[in-house]
Amino acid sequence: MGQHRTHVILPEGLVTEIDALVGQRKRSAFLAEVAARELRRRRLLAFLAQDVPAWNPADHPDIEKAGGAAAWVKKLRRESDQASRRRLRSRRG
């Protein structure tokens, strides 16, 4: 991803605190990290505020074929347990 130089005005005390925490040479990286984190947080909040459900069963036909979510989870757990038992047996030799 490319970079874009921008001019941002911040209170002097805030800049002093940032510099004390990360150093003057790492100020831009710190501000970029904090801005990216805040954007992710705000996108998540906007998504959660929507009335549209996050899960649409039509998008997951494999789960419906397996008899629903509960049956699908049981199948996954059973497969995981079987794999764990096989690993234990192979270690015992």
Would residue 3 be called left, alpha or beta, if left means φ above 0 and alpha means ψ between -120 and 50 degrees? beta
Write the DSSP assignment of 56-90 as a string of letters.
Answer: -GGG-HHHHHTTSHHHHHHHHHHHHHHHHHHHHHH
Q: Which two tokens stand for residue 28?
A: 């831009």
Taking the C-alpha atoms of residue 31 and residue 24, their distance in angstroms, rounded to an integer, is: 11
Residue 1 has pLDDT above 80, yes or no: no
Q: Report the candidate in 77, 59, 57 with the shortest Cα–Cα distance to residue 67.
A: 57
pTM: 0.59
Structural contact between residues 75 and 66, judged by C-beta atoms closer than 8 angstroms = yes
**Predicted confidence (pLDDT) per residue in 41-70, tens digit:** 999 999 999 998 888 888 888 877 778 888
Return the domain boundaries, the chain: 12-49, 57-92
